[in-house]
Every structure is written in C-alpha cells, then in structure tokens.
Amino acid sequence: SDRRIPVEQTSDFIDLMQIYEGAMYEISTKLEILDDEFQVRFSHDPIHHMERRLKSVSSIIGKLERKGLPLTTESIKDHLFDVAGIRVICNYRDDVYSVSRYLSAQSDIQVLRVKDYIRNPKQNGYRSLHVIYAVPVFLSTGAHYTPVEVQFRTIAMDYWASLEHALRYKSNLPDAKLAEHSQTLLDCARSLQNVEAQMQSIHRDINGAPRGDETP
C-alpha cells in the first residue's frame, strides 16, 4: 500500500500556502493604496471592488494532475502561478490599464507574464487582463519571491465572465442548448464592449481622468 503522506498534509505545503497568502495581501494592499491615491488626486475610484482567493487543495491537485506533474510542493512552486489570485474589478477600461500599469511599475515587484485578453479576446468572447507578479514575502528565513495572478477587468467583463463560467461549469444542459447559449454569450460580449466604449467616452469627457492605454 502507498504509505506516502499526501502533499497537502506536509508541513512544507502548509508553509507554502502561508507564503502565497502573504503575497496576496502584499499585492492587494498595494492596489488599495493606488485606489485611495486616485480618489484623492482625481476624485475617482478606479477599482470598483476586489476579490481574493487561494486555490483550493483539490484544484491544486487537479491542475498538477492535468499537467502530468508530481504532487509535490516543488511542482507547485515551479509550475503553478495562480495559487494566489486577485480579481480587480474596475469601473472602466481606462482604469484597468492605468491601475495595472502603476502596479507593474513598482520597483519591489516583478512582472512575470502578461496575457491581454482585452486587446485579444478569447474565441468565446472572454475579456480580462491577466498579469502574474512576483512579490517578495519577508519571513524570518528571508525574502521569498512569490507569484500572484491578478485578473483586471471591468464590471461588464466580470458580469459576462460570471455567467459564462456558470454555463461552462455549473450547467447540465444538453449540447445543443449549450452551443446556442455560447453563441448568444458571444453576441453579448460584443454588445457589452460597445456599451462600455460609449460609457467610457462620456466618462472621459466628464472626468478628465488620466488615460492609460498601454499594456503593463
């Protein structure tokens, strides 16, 4: 019989998860500070709200298995970049780019990877800006550079992604119905993108908030 201790019950794993949690707090504090600064300087809150999560043990194991990796803390450290995740829901598209740009420019963190599904939406209509940062977490043992996946999106993109996620993972609909709804969702993504662009332009005229169009 297999007498090995499952990875999630080892003290290494517990220590590792604590570091991911620390990294998640480091980044979310930085985002809150930026949001507060915008409020003071421009009387505008770029961030509508944030969500944070640590990947559950079962999703970590599921992802390692899908990638054909051994269930060890080393594989987690070397191959999973989304154990710590923050979703930043912004009011407007300009906010997505300005907040991500200011965060990416901070000298104590590194940008490991950028996937811009806003400029290049996925086939199904999914839009969001995904950035993986490495942030130092200081423990008694020194600095541990830890990845955090941040998904920046607008309220409209989040609204869309929630329904699409539910359709994909939570529904038992027959294939034909699924295909029909997926097509409708693609149309919705385009409509939302239009509405968003029009509202963004009104907002720019009223507010004169800084423009940020560059990928971090």
Q: Which stretch binds ligand 0O2 (CB under 6 A): 25-33, 99-107, 123-131, 186-194?
A: 123-131
In the bound complex, what is the minimum distance in angstroms from residue 91's beta carbon to ligand 0O2?
A: 20
From 99, 68, 97, 63, select the one nearest 81 (Cα to Cα): 63
Q: Does 164 sit near ligand 0O2 (CB under 6 A)?
A: yes
Q: Compute the least distance from the CB of residue 38 to ligand 0O2, in Å.
A: 25
Q: Which of 26, 35, 82, 116 binds ligand 0O2 (CB under 6 A)?
A: 82
Among 13, 81, 92, 97, indicate the residue that binds ligand 0O2 (CB under 6 A): 81
Give the Cα separation of 175 and 115 in Å (integer).
Answer: 30
In the block, residue with structure tokens 């359709």: 167
Residues 92-121 that bind ligand 0O2 (CB under 6 A): 115
From the list 161, 189, 192, 209, which residue makes contact with ligand 0O2 (rule: CB under 6 A)?
A: 161
- Which one, 44 or 100, has the nearer CB to ligand 0O2? 100
How far is residue 95's CA from residue 21's CA, in Å, rounded to a whole number?
26
CA gap 101, 127 in Å, rounded = 18
Using left for φ > 0, alpha for ψ between -120 and 50, and beta otherwise, residue 130 falls in beta
How many residues make contact with ligand 0O2 (CB under 6 A)?
Answer: 10
Options 41, 49, 119, 165; binder of ligand 0O2; rule CB under 6 A:
165
| 182-186 own/partner pairs: CB under 8 Å, 24+ apart | 182/124, 185/124, 185/125, 185/160, 186/124, 186/125
Nearer to ligand 0O2, 113 or 211 (CB): 113
Task: Find the binding residues for ligand 0O2 in span 28-57 (CB under 6 A).
Answer: none
Stretch of 12-20, 40-48, 157-165, 171-179 contacting ligand 0O2, by CB under 6 A: 157-165
Cβ closer to ligand 0O2: 10 or 124?
124
Q: How far is CA 183 from CA 75, 125, 161, 163, 186, in A?
A: 37, 9, 14, 13, 5
Q: Checking DSSP bridges between strand 129-139 and strand 110-116, what pairing results, if any?
A: antiparallel
CA distance linking residue 133 with residue 23, whole number of Å = 10
Task: List C-alpha distances in Å: 199 to 38, 155, 185, 194.
Answer: 20, 12, 21, 9
| 130 sits near ligand 0O2 (criterion: CB under 6 A) | yes
Residues that bind ligand 0O2 (CB under 6 A): 81-82, 115, 122, 124, 126, 130, 161, 164-165
